[in-house]
Homo-oligomer: A and B are copies of this chain.
């Protein structure tokens, strides 16, 4: 067993040692990994039962819990962050309880064999950046409205309409009001119906013609059908190109800044 402030690793710990290590880790908000044989009960919005088998359990410093089997992306049982963790011994069993309230949900893990238990203080300040999201598409269209069509002029974005938000709100070259609904992947029926709802609401409240444009990389056949029958338009917009446009504009901004400095 290795033990310092940062890392604790126990191979085949007995139950009492495991309970001690876990309580220590809960107090110090350490991240925990356990590999061993366990069964799991869950009661909350639904219920579930997982029969015994060997799994990986991760418990994080914010109270998130994940039970992973040997296959698949998803945990078989889990608890999102913010729950209270307890470890106790009962007979020859290590019992871990993860309790969340509102709604009350309880995950109980019963280990009858612990292959290994490890706790860490993870140092992680690294920034995470995501590109080509719907938000980036919106920003790119606002900076380069011709991505929608020539003469399009955005007026507002994330505009509240009844309950919901119009992605971009503007006018076309002929002064007609335009509503743009953005999707970062194949637009389906829901996207069309969403757009239609906004337009109906706006038409009634403004008592004017309102154009609807669905901006997405692709549109499904059915959705296109519905779109056309409702008199709405589709405009192909690629999220990656939007991301590149933003990057270029950012670079230009910085360049202009330095140019200004040089000239000054």
Contact = CB atoms under 8 A, between A and B. Distances in A.
B49 A129 contact: yes
Size category, A interface: 35 or more
Given A47-B243, A55-B124, A71 B61 contact: yes
B81 A71 contact: yes
Interface in A56-78: 56, 58, 60-62, 64, 66, 68-73, 76, 78
A54 B123 contact: yes
A115 interface: yes
B116 A49 contact: no
Interface string A19-56: 00000000000010101010100000111111111111
A128 B243 contact: no
Contact of A132 (B46, B120, B189): B46
Nearest to A7: B115
Given A132-B46, A243-B47, A61 B70 contact: yes
A90 interface: no
Given A2-B11, A116-B7, A118-B116, A124 B46 contact: no
A48 B129 contact: yes
B115 A120 contact: yes
Nearest to A61: B70
Contact of A48 (B66, B124, B131): B131
A222 interface: yes
Contact of A54 (B76, B80, B115, B120): B120
A45 B76 CA distance: 26
A5 interface: no
A46 B239 contact: yes
B122 A49 contact: no
Interface string A190-205: 1001000100000000
A7 B73 CA distance: 22
Given A46-B184, A50-B126, A189-B197, 7 more contacts: A2-B11, A33-B56, A54-B124, A56-B58, A62-B71, A70-B124, A73-B81
Interface of A: 2, 6-7, 9, 11, 31, 33, 35, 37, 39, 45-56, 58, 60-62, 64, 66, 68-73, 76, 78-81, 115-116, 118, 120, 122-133, 163, 184-185, 189-190, 193, 197, 222, 239-240, 243
